[in-house]
Amino acid sequence: MSDTIFVLNGPNLNLLGQRRPEVYGYTTLHDIERMVRERAADHGFDVEFMQSNHEGALVDEIQRARTRGAAIIINPAAYTHTSVALHDALEAAELPVVEVHLSNVQAREDFRHRSLIGAVCRGIIAGFGTDSYRLAVEALRKK
Ligand code: DQA
């Protein structure tokens, strides 16, 4: 039985800290990775952490998680609102999935209100900045 949480990050999240800090804050993705690793270790999980700007690379990583992971935390970024491929890959993974967003997507533009991913997730955490990732780890902790 795997103890690895795959934490996947979609396009432009490599720019966190520089990109629209009034929306996404000044924390970098590297800072988020460190925090997630610490929280996950507290609950006995290893972490595989990745970011890609490419939809297919994210699909490949979800397929790796399918055979090697215990769960997936994913911030699909803009692909949240467009990607049937990510939906299908997550559905096929048959793992607990938590969708996370730094910003409250429901309070933003209309095109961000719809998630193609949410239907194949255990739950969605949005709007708590970097805490969204921490809360996702808490949601997956072994009870
Ligand atoms: C985001 C919200 C998305 O709508 C957006 O495209 C992002 C980041 C968030 O974390 O708030 O890139 O997923």
Specify the residue with its C-alpha closest to ligand 1, atom 8.
77
Average pLDDT over residues 108-129: 97
12 CA distance to ligand 1 middle (Å) = 9
Q: How confident is the model at residue 142 (pLDDT cuts 50, 70, 90)?
A: confident
Q: What is the pLDDT of residue 143?
A: 66
Give phi and psi for 44, each to the nearest 5. Answer: 80, 20
Residue 110 predicted with pLDDT over 70:
yes
Query: Of 30, 79, 81, 101, which residue is the catalytic one?
Result: 101
> pLDDT by residue (tens digit) across 50-100?
999 999 999 999 999 999 999 999 999 999 999 999 999 999 999 999 999
Centre of ligand 1 to C-alpha 1, Å, is: 32
**Whether residue 81 lies in the annotated active site:** no
Annotation marks residue 26 as catalytic: no
Instruction: Using DSSP, state whether 104 is helix, strand or coil.
Output: coil
Report the chain's mean pLDDT, rounded to a whole number: 96
Per-residue pLDDT, 22: 87
Residues with CB under 6 A from ligand 1: 12, 75, 77-78, 80, 101-103, 105, 112
Model confidence at 128: pLDDT above 90: yes
| Tens digits of residue pLDDT in 16-56 | 999 898 888 889 999 999 999 999 999 999 999 999 999 99
Tell me how far apart the alpha carbons of residues 30 and 120 are, in angstroms, rounded to a whole number.
27
Cα separation, 120 vs 124, whole angstroms: 10
CA 7 to ligand 1 centroid distance, Å: 15
